[in-house]
Amino acid sequence: MQLIEDLRADHDLIDQVLGSLRAFVAARVAGGGNPAAGPVFMAFFRDFAGACHHAKEEDILFRALSERAELPADRGPIWALTLEHQRMAGVLAELAGLLEAPLGEGADRLRLQALAVDYSRSLWHHIDAENSVMFPEGQEHLRRFHILELPAPPMTEAQLASRDAGAALVAAYPPQPDPEVIRGDGCMGCPSYLVTCEGLEREWWTDLAWEDFEDRMSSD
């Protein structure tokens, strides 16, 4: 499904720009970095990661899964991932106040660093959960309802510009790894697991899904 492939490609870029954000924030906290890059990071996460990428997930993929593939939207993976979008948008809004204005001393620098860590770690784990659970399982559920493709609207000029700017940010601020983040697949690595979602098998799987799973396992 092309929509899923496009969303995965978005994730690849967002993943890299998160690492660049961490590198930029580390430089700003240390008294370096170009302050003009702050609004560029914000435009990327607002216009591309938010208004473009998250909107495609919620308005197209999640809606198709709930309305056309009969999956619940008020609990389980769809609900959990939508709540994560909302929480991360709140963190980003607070981060904007520090990235788009002159950076003060002491408390401002500590808060900037804490918000950048929170946002990047949350979004990295969110990306892993979608790549490993939502996308493959969602595509399989849609296939069962004979839905093989979903339309995606073209990006606006602002979204295209912010995507291209993201690639430039990666070049200007090489992504900084976070040694404390353990990347992983499956429900166990999802921040919503057993918090706002009981896990894929309990929330989504039907008797038919279990039969398909057993058939695949027996054929391997």
Could you tell me the CATH number of the domain that includes residue 132? 1.20.120
Query: Which pLDDT does position 210 carry in this prediction?
Result: 65
Average pLDDT over residues 61-77: 95
Q: How far apart are CA 59 and CA 143, in angstroms?
A: 19
Angle of helix 107-129 relative to helix 2-29, nearest 10 degrees, comes to 160
pLDDT in tens, 195-209: 889 888 888 877 666
- Domain containing 125 equals 2-219
Tokens of residue 192, six digits: 């919503």
Grade residue 152 by pLDDT with cuts at 50, 70 and 90: confident
User: C-alpha angle 31/32/35, rounded to 5°?
Assistant: 105
Output the pTM of the full model: 0.91
Q: Is 82 exposed, middle or buried (0-12, 13-18, 19+ CB in 10 A)?
A: middle
Residues 6+ apart with CB under 8 A from 58: 82, 85
User: CA Rg, the chain, in Å?
Assistant: 19
Q: How far from 69 is each of 64, 77, 213, CA to CA, in Å? A: 7, 14, 18
| Amino acid identity at 75 | R
Q: What is the dihedral of CA 58, 61, 67, 71, to 10 degrees?
A: -100
At residue 193, the 3 state secondary structure works out as strand
If one counts every other C-beta atom within 10 angstroms of the C-beta of residue 153, the result is: 11
Q: How far from 27 is each of 5, 31, 121, 202, CA to CA, in Å? A: 34, 6, 18, 44
Q: How far apart are CA 10 and CA 12, in angstroms?
A: 5
Q: Which of 15-29, 180-194, 204-218 shows the lowest per-residue confidence on average (mean pLDDT)?
A: 204-218
Query: Which pLDDT does position 213 carry in this prediction?
Result: 58
Mean pLDDT of the chain: 92
Q: How far from 53 is each of 8, 21, 93, 110, 159, CA to CA, in Å? A: 10, 18, 17, 29, 9
Q: Which of 11-15, 22-26, 153-157, 208-212 shows the lowest per-residue confidence on average (mean pLDDT)?
A: 208-212
Count of structural domains within the chain: 1
Find tokens 């809606």 and name the residue.
Answer: 63
Query: Which pLDDT does position 178 carry in this prediction?
Result: 94
| Amino acid identity at 54 | H
